[in-house]
């Protein structure tokens, strides 16, 4: 299946050519990386997924297969579509596997220094016209792009978790991002079955600028004794019709990620209302990052999970 993102007949004479994205590279085999690989392969795109750990890559492939099996059970895809999609995904620990790739998205840890190191190592392996995206949920796209050899072909493409389920992708242009790159990524998102919201390059963009401070305020409510974990989550589920309470949601996102977003907001906007709650800091320092570590505001070694306080 070929991808035709745009043609001269579809655009005004003055419109720039929009590059075709025929293959995708993904850096990081974690929750976000394997989710992006999942939807990309189902959309008919060859996917190269790279991680520093072969064990992480093997685990990611098992996760993708398991999640596709669930989709088969819900009659969203067929077993043939699953088999074809899995065959489109290759894994490696070497960036050289991206040599012929049209588009590479980074889904590494939400730490700016780590992302800069990733892009520094990545760029020498890419063809000159390749587009780079970051799945960052909060860090400046302008700043990340400036650290590469192609800021005009660098963009933010923030998928929501879990990627195979959530429909939204935030598209964030850095100050140097050119129009063809933006259009190509918009069209790619549509091919993946997503809807886009374009965000300006301000700290945390749209979703996390609103969502994570709400979570931080819920942690303050716990910290100050306004309510316990169950009461806070029940109040927001039944009183605001949220599908998850904010503390349960924090565990799902990852408390380390929530803290990183709050730190980006606090540092970037210099406003005390974005100060991370000390209790959130303490949980992260303890290694209680939520579901992925087995403990956060809830203890996931129990069934059902029980509050930790």
> Hey, which residues are catalytic here?
137, 158, 170, 208
Tokens representing residue 130 in the block? 């390749």
For residue 31, give the 3-state DSSP assignment.
helix
- Under 8 Å between Cβ of 183 and 153: no
Q: Which residues pair with 26 in a beta bridge?
A: 49, 105
Alpha-carbon gap, residue 171 to 187, rounded angstroms:
11
Q: Indicate the DSSP class of residue 43.
A: T
Integer angstrom CA distances of residue 95 from 47, 98, 104, 271? 13, 6, 10, 39
DSSP result, 243-294: SS-HHHHHHHH-HHHHHHHHHHHHHHH--GGGPPPHHHHHHHHTT--BGGGT
- Under 8 Å between Cβ of 202 and 176: no
Q: What angle do CA 283, 289, 295 make, to 5 degrees?
A: 85
Phi, psi of 269 (to 5 degrees): -110, -10
For residue 89, give the 3-state DSSP assignment.
strand
- Under 8 Å between Cβ of 266 and 138: no
Other CB atoms within a 10 A radius of the CB of residue 133 amount to 29
What kind and span of H or E run contains 188?
helix 179-191
């Amino acid at each position: 299946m070929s991808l035709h993102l745009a043609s001269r007949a579809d655009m005004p004479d003055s419109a720039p050519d929009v590059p075709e994205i025929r293959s995708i590279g993904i850096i990081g085999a974690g929750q976000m990386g394997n989710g992006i690989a999942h939807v990309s392969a189902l959309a008919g795109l060859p996917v190269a997924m790279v991680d520093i750990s072969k064990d992480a890559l093997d685990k990611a492939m098992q996760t993708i297969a398991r999640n596709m099996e669930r989709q088969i059970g819900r009659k969203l895809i067929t077993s043939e579509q699953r088999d074809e999609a899995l065959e489109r995904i290759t894994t490696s620990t070497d960036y050289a596997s991206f040599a012929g790739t049209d588009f590479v998205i980074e889904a590494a840890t939400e730490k700016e220094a780590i992302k800069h190191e990733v892009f520094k190592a990545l760029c020498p392996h890419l063809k000159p016209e390749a587009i780079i995206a970051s799945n960052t949920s909060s860090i400046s796209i302008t700043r990340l792009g400036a650290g590469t050899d192609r800021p005009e072909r660098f963009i933010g493409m923030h998928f929501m978790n879990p990627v195979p389920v959530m429909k939204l992708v935030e598209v964030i242009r850095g100050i140097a991002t050119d129009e063809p790159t933006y259009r190509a990524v918009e069209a790619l998102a549509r091919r993946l079955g997503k809807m886009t919201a374009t965000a300006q390059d301000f700290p945390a963009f749209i979703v996390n600028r609103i969502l994570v401070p709400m979570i931080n305020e819920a942690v303050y409510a716990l910290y100050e004794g306004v309510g316990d974990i169950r009461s806070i989550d029940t109040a927001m589920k039944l009183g605001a019709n949220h599908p998850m309470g904010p503390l349960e949601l924090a565990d799902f996102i990852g408390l380390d990620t929530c803290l990183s977003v709050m730190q980006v907001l606090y540092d970037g906007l210099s406003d005390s209302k974005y100060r991370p709650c000390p209790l959130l800091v303490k949980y992260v320092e303890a290694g209680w990052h939520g579901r992925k570590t087995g403990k956060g505001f809830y203890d996931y070694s129990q069934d059902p999970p029980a509050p930790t306080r």
